[in-house]
Amino acid sequence: MKINGKSKNKSLLRFTTAGSVDDGKSTLIGRLLYDSKSIFEDQMEHIVQSGKRLGRKELDLSLLTDGLRAEREQGITIDVAYRYFATPARKFIIADTPGHIQYTRNMVTGASTADLAVILIDARKGVLEQTIRHSFIASLLDIRHIIFCINKMDMMDWSEPVFTGIKVELALLVDKLNITDAHYIPISAKYGDNVVERSENMKWYNGKTFLNLIETIEIRKNKNPENQRFPVQTIIRPHTSEYHDYRGYAGRVAGGVFRPGDEITVLPSLRRSKIKSIDMFGKTLSETIAGDSVAISLEDQIDISRGDMLVASDDIPVISQDINLMICWFNERPLKVGGRYLIRINSNEAGCVVKSVNYRMNINTLEHDFENISVNMNDMAHISIKTSKPVFFDTYRKNNITGSMIFIDEGTNETVAAGMITVD
Amino acid sequence: MKNLININDEHLKELENEAIFVMREVAAQFENKVLLFSGGKDSIVLVHLARKAFWPARIPFSLMHIDTGHNFEETLKFRDDLAIEFGAELIVKYVQDSIDNDRVVEEQGVNASRNKAQSITLLDAIEELKIDVAIGGGRRDEEKSRAKERFFSHRNEFGQWDPKNQRPELWNIFNGRKHSGEHFRVFPISNWTELDVWQYILNENIKLPELYYTHRRKIFNRNGVYLAWAPFMQLKPNEKVFETDVRCRTIGDITCTGVTLSKAQSLEEIISEIAATRVTERGGRYDDKRSEAAMEDRKKEGYF
């Protein structure tokens, strides 16, 4: 869809940044905001004051991104923080996530809504276990675009061979992880080289600066344009004289394109009907695409409630009580084989029992562990579950929305895991 | 920061889709729902989004205003008219009542504000009315502790926020499960920036109180922030009241809402002004200037 001659996907870019404090992640974000003039005077005054209190001599841009008191005191990032900035070309939402292994769950959280991942590498250290971990999480969460920023080039004499060496090593990792679109930029976040301004110290680098790349990279928002999926959130019944018989199914399109007249099947009842109208605040739409929040009404009176899904009649997702999936465990209490949890998949909810842990991922080496596989906080594992009723789903690779779920502990109501459905 | 007005507004569509999705999750997951309405632009945008989310049905939330008693008169009239126009139930709770019932001790002195006291009145109302969710217009770009806030933010039975132990929030799956006595704060416009809000108001032609546009007002300068003068405000010896053209960038309790010197008469002029400004929106909020973690501390206690 084109609007004002501009391509639709030039609008909003959500990206996640991974790397530890030592990699200069906060400094990179600070630099990006500073050089793109997105830091306001009162924020600037604030980081100058904080820096003085902490006894820093140079302007410390990393102070800009630490939100909570404990984070400022300890100089660490604990939780995902969201940052916003805009350039004339695009608007950006950054999910800034801590990079240490004990915060894997936060990185997974930040990655779940990202179109692109930025992974920092310290040029002095090259590809480390954590680089593998960050790349693996990005690929597992199906982030299609990755930018590797090789940082601290200033400490390696701006050396091209150093950069090339790391790039070759990363390319092997990228192949192994099936990452389709990878970019490599030599930077110095501290001095700003190749962040917003082109580096005077690395004239050998002909590629884009970091900002220029994220401004121009093509992102396909609708990852699943073919398969029609519409999970029902709630039913709109106005009970007014004007709209006495109106019954709208409110939801956000999770895949495909819907148009009035389309033949659809309702899950789980398998009843069929046709789309009568697609409404949004008094406007009747001729079509609606993935990402749109709309209300759909049908030709026939069918019993439909929250958790049901409208799908194309000739393209029905998997309906089953047995699911295999990769999970990231979030809770201090380990996963229990045989344990019962609630799952939420879209607006649908069901009980489940964990049948088996098939393997635990060693996310630093990408090896599978089969021995003594307890699943603790921040672990990733492949498991099989049985649900209390048939649920309908796609694989995560096919559709990130209809293929993802969370696990809830019924006793504490906490979200204890996130899951991505796999083929087997 | 220039030329932001011309930015492709397709990003607003995405933010709107997200906010409507969140509104509908609230409607489906909770029983006793209120939308915190202050008369400020963010809560006005929330009401507009709620109308879109449930059209042609009415908004399935009551509007709740925590009234400090230190309001701009225009805001109250705007609030009452809006509730009538959209057929929403309006609940007003008064900080003065909390003071009279000894629930709150009124701050004294020149910097006295009822801003902090609002949290007590709000939490009392939540308990009294058995509210299990309160929708707020908080945005992550406003302030550093808000940057860590979830869309669905859990509050324990004391109404407190525990920022170090928040539920992970993935994809578009929101977990609003809770024990009785606990509640949630939900922030549908978490991902909006100040400029997004203004551009959306312009695109959607949303009516705002006149205070947001330029008008003559008596003001004074306190530590670099212009505050609107009102009879109940105490002045320091060096502070002089004068009249000039101003507009409000945010609207809250008078005692802590800074005003901006401005001649902007239209939304387009306001947007140009904001796009060029070098101070954040809350830079004029006196309540945030109290300490480095002022907002974090208030939020833990139950603030909006």
Q: Measure the CA–CA gap between B301 and B304, rounded to whole angstroms.
A: 10
Residue A105 parent element (H or E): helix A104-112
Give the rounded percent of residues in chain B with a pLDDT score beyond 70. 91
Nearest residue in B to A46, CA atom: B292
Element (H, E) at B81: helix B73-85
**Opening angle at CA B43, ends B41 and B49, nearest 5:** 105
pLDDT band at B107 (very low <50, low <70, confident <90, very high): confident
Nearest chain A residue to B182 by CA: give it: A413
pLDDT score for A321: 97
Are A61 and A35 within 8 A, CB to CB?
Answer: no
Residue B140 or residue B288, greater confidence: B140
Mean pLDDT calculated for residue range B121-148: 90
- Greater confidence, B78 or A89? B78
Contact between A9 and A218 (Cβ < 8 Å): yes
Q: Contact A113/B171, CB-based, under 8 Å?
A: yes
Bigger pLDDT: A30 vs A299: A299
Which residues, 6 or more positions from A255, have their beta carbon under 8 angstroms from its beta carbon? A222, A224, A225, A226, A227, A228, A229, A290, A394, A399, A401, A402
Which residue's structure tokens are 């509210």?
B131
Q: Which of A318-327, A367-376, B71-80 has the highest mean pLDDT?
A: A318-327
Nearest-angstrom CA–CA distance, B276 and A371: 60
| Rounded average pLDDT over B158-184 | 91
Lowest mean pLDDT among A126-140, A202-216, A330-344, B284-298: B284-298
Mean pLDDT of the residues in chain B: 86
Mean pLDDT of B254-282: 81
Of A10, A112, A246, the CB nearest to B56: A246
Q: How far is CA A171 from CA A127, A146, A177, A394, in A?
A: 11, 11, 10, 30
pLDDT tier, B300 (very low <50, low <70, confident <90, very high otherwise): confident
Chain B CB contacts of A76 below 8 Å: none
Distance (Å, rounded) from C-alpha A317 to C-alpha A312? 9
- Inter-chain CB proximity B54 and A236 less than 8 Å: yes
Say if the Cβ atoms of A233 and B10 lie within 8 Å.
no
Residues 207-246 of A with CB under 8 A from B: 221, 233-234, 236-240, 242-243, 246
What is the pLDDT averaged over residues B22-43?
A: 95
Look up the ipTM and state it.
0.91
What is the β-pairing status of strands A12-18 and A116-122? parallel
By three-state DSSP, how is residue B91 classified? strand
Rounded Cα distance between A117 and A197, Å, is 21
Q: With 70 as the cut, is the pLDDT of residue B43 above it?
A: yes
Residues of chain B neighbouring A292 (CB-CB closer than 8 A): 17
- Taking 80 as the threshold, does the pLDDT of residue A79 lie above it? no
Q: What is the mean pLDDT of residues A50-58?
A: 70
A177–chain B Cβ distance below 8 A for any pair: no
Q: What is the structure's pLDDT at B7?
A: 46
Q: What pLDDT is recorded for position A9? A: 42
Structure tokens, B155: 């509050």
Q: What confidence score (pLDDT) does residue B5 get? A: 45
In the structure encoding, which two tokens stand for residue A249, read together?
């199914």
Of A126-140, A202-216, B158-172, B274-288, which one has max mean pLDDT? A202-216
The alpha-carbon gap from A50 to the nearest alpha carbon of chain B, in Å, equals 9
Which pLDDT score is estimated for A135?
93
Closest chain B C-alpha to A158 CA, distance in angstroms: 31
Determine the average pLDDT of the residues in A68-91: 74
Q: How far apart are CA B175 and CA B153, in angstroms?
A: 9
Q: CB contact, 8 Å: A82 with chain B?
A: yes
Is the pLDDT confidence value at B288 over 60? Answer: no
Fold match, A229-312 / A318-421: yes
Among B168, B10, B23, CA closest to A377: B168
- CATH number for the domain running over A229-312: 2.40.30.10
- CATH superfamily, domain A318-421, is Translation factors (2.40.30.10)
For A1-7, the CB contacts below 8 A with 24+ separation are A1/A289, A3/B8, A3/B9, A3/B10, A4/B8, A6/B8, A6/B10
**What is the chain B residue with the closest CA to A87?**
B1
Burial of B205 (0-12, 13-18, 19+ CB in 10 A): exposed
pLDDT digits (tens, 9 = 90+) for A107-142: 899 999 999 999 999 999 999 988 998 999 999 999
* Residue among A334, A333, A325 at smallest CA distance from A381: A325
Contact between residue B226 and residue B260 where contact means Cβ atoms under 8 Å apart: yes
Mean pLDDT of B68-83: 89
For B52, the closest of A91, A280, A413 (CB atoms) is A280
Taking the CA of residue A363 and the nearest CA in chain B, the distance in Å comes to 20
pTM: 0.91
Q: Where are the domains of chain A?
A: 2-216, 229-312, 318-421
| Range with the poorest average pLDDT among A226-230, A278-282, A360-364 | A360-364
pLDDT digits (tens, 9 = 90+) for A386-399: 999 999 999 999 99
Percent helix, strand, coil in chain B, to 5, is 40, 15, 45
Which domains occur in chain B, in start order? Answer: 4-197+292-301 (3.40.50.620), 208-286 (no CATH)
Taking CA–CA distances from B50, the nearest residue in chain A reads A281
Question: Measured between CA atoms, how close is B260 to chain A, in angstroms?
Answer: 15
Q: Shortest Cα distance from A162 to chain B (angstroms)?
A: 36
Whether the pLDDT of residue A74 is over 70: the answer is no
Cβ neighbours, 10 Å, residue A414: 20
| Exposure on the CB side of residue B94, measured as CA atoms within 13 A | 9
Q: What is the mean pLDDT of residues B194-202?
A: 92
Check if the beta carbon of residue A79 is closer than 8 Å to that of residue B148: yes
pLDDT in tens, B215-264: 999 999 988 888 888 888 888 888 999 999 999 887 877 777 778 899 99
Residue A423, pLDDT > 50, answer: yes
pLDDT at residue A67 is higher than 70: no
Top-confidence residue, A59 or A249: A249
Phi, psi of A329 (to 5 degrees): -90, 135
With 90 as the cut, is the pLDDT of residue A374 above it?
A: yes
- Out of 3.30.750.24, 1.10.1530.10, 3.40.50.300, 1.10.1040.10, select the CATH number for domain A2-216: 3.40.50.300
pLDDT grade, residue A379 (50/70/90)?
very high
More confident residue, B287 or A228: A228
Write out chain B residues lying below 8 Å of A83, CB-based. 141, 147
Q: Which residues numbered 263-282 in A keep a CB inside 8 Å of some CB on B?
A: 279-282
Sort out which chain B residues have CB atoms less than 8 A from A224's CB and list them.
none
Q: What is the mean pLDDT of chain A?
A: 89
Confidence check: pLDDT of B176 > 60: yes
